[in-house]
Amino acid sequence: MTRIERGDMSMSRRLRWRNVFGAGLAALLVVGVVTPSAAQVRLDRPEAKLPDDFGSIQTVRELRDGRVLVADPLGKDLYLVDLTAGKRSVVGSEGQGPQEWRQPDAVWPLPGDSTLLVDLGNSRMVALGPDLRFGPTMPLAMSALEPGTIPLIAIPQGVDGQGRIYTRSMGGLAGNLPDSAAILRIDRGTRKADTVALFKLPDRTQATSGGANNRNVRIANVPLSPEDAWGVARDGAVAIARAGDYHVDWFLPDGKVVHGPPVPYDPVHIGTPEKEEYLAEQARAGGGIGISMQVVNGSATMAFARGGGPGTARREIDQYTWPDSKPPMYQGRIPIDPQGRAWVHRSMKAGDPSTYDVFDRAGKRVAAVTLETGKRVVGFGKGWVYVVSFDDFDLSYLERYRMPAL
């Protein structure tokens, strides 16, 4: 039996891959020097805040009437939230039936005021109509599950205005360590994928042990090592923030590529506070997505889950290999606002305010937006910025701010 572990990921006859997506792979990535040409904006007071807490929030989806859908994978609920009234209600119920879910993880807008719900527990995506009734479903694993092959897994990191799904390729599961992965665009109708661009993966370490019949290969991400971040606009443009010299590339719908100018930054030294903050950020987000594939008599099945909970799954800082300094920004999803601007979450010293560099379609940084320490932008609406804040128990709270004039 061959067993491969990648960070918290592992693979054997019964394959278990952990932290392939989401905060489990998140790496706090540096401090940019704010140039005079970038507007300085601070979001001080939320216009509204829901008093009820969530286990974790990955995305929000604003509906036409101003209410928002929120999937809570750790609380295992799908909510319709009215921030103006300060109330929420559950949509659907837990189960495997037509109007049910088992672990709602994220919500994305679809054409016609519909919504795409990622239901990890049922290993599927489901389209909700404007009336929030559950409609057509499709599996998260969109290619044949065959031993020895790399499946096409359609867990979205973005969805465009045509309803196409953007996800990452699943290379490097056989013990090799590629330095990049592909951003894939999947047509939900045909289920065909094409490659939009490549992005840099984090540094990794590999260790092998055991014999021929029970070989163990452990591949671990180096936390806070350089990794590109990316996001998807409604028109299908893809923004990639490059960790090397800190600039933004835009891959436009017409096939053109725009390379923004490098943004100067001073690398932040990684000390004990930065290490502790990194581990706390991962715990707040609930960890990454665990993917398991079981092969029985040549037949493969796949299951998905976001595990852990607030304050759990923290490890000691000496269990990791750490670089000397942070690169420019967090890896992971870049939120794109309705004006088509990329909000890149810049990494700061531990305890400093959360800072987002806003880049226009020319790749130019036009603003630096700051929030209270630890707060995170999770989406946008008509004139709104949706933010997650945290309490001392790492529970999540949803806030709404007016979109600043940038």
The arithmetic mean of pLDDT across residues 5-13, rounded, is 33
Looking only at the bridges linking them, the beta strands covering 2-6 and 215-221 are parallel
What is the span of the domain harbouring residue 232? 2-402
Over pLDDT 70: what percentage of the chain?
81
Instruction: Give the whole-angstrom CA distance, residue 146 versus residue 129.
Output: 34
pLDDT given at position 217: 54
d(Cα 167, Cα 187) in Å, to the nearest integer?
11
Domain total of the chain:
1
Q: What angle do CA 337, 340, 342 make, to 5 degrees?
A: 65
Q: What is the DSSP string of 20-76?
A: SSBGGG-----EEPPPTTSEEEE--S-SEE-SS-BS--S-EEE-TTS-EEEEETTTT
Mean pLDDT of 57-77: 96
279 or 101, greater pLDDT: 101
pLDDT greater than 50 at residue 13: no
Q: How high is the pLDDT of residue 206?
A: 75
**Full-prediction pTM beyond 0.95?**
no
Please give the share of the chain, as a percent, with pLDDT higher than 90: 67
Amino acid 170: pLDDT? 78
> From residue 45, how far is each of 42, 233, 297, 344, 395 by CA, in Å?
9, 27, 58, 21, 19
Question: Which pLDDT score, from 0 to 100, does residue 309 have?
Answer: 42
Which tokens hold the place of 61? 């989806």
* pLDDT, tens digit, 9 for 90 and up, residues 268-318: 999 999 999 998 888 887 777 877 766 666 666 788 898 754 444 456 888
Question: Cβ(166)–Cβ(336) under 8 Å?
Answer: no
pLDDT at position 129 is 97
> What is the structure's pLDDT at 320?
87
Among all chains, which residue has been given the structure tokens 């994305």? 108
Cα–Cα distance, 175 to 212 (Å, whole number): 15
Give the model confidence (pLDDT) of 153-177 as tens digits: 899 999 999 999 999 997 655 556 7
Give me the pLDDT at residue 316, please.
80
CATH number (domain holding residue 228): 2.120.10.30
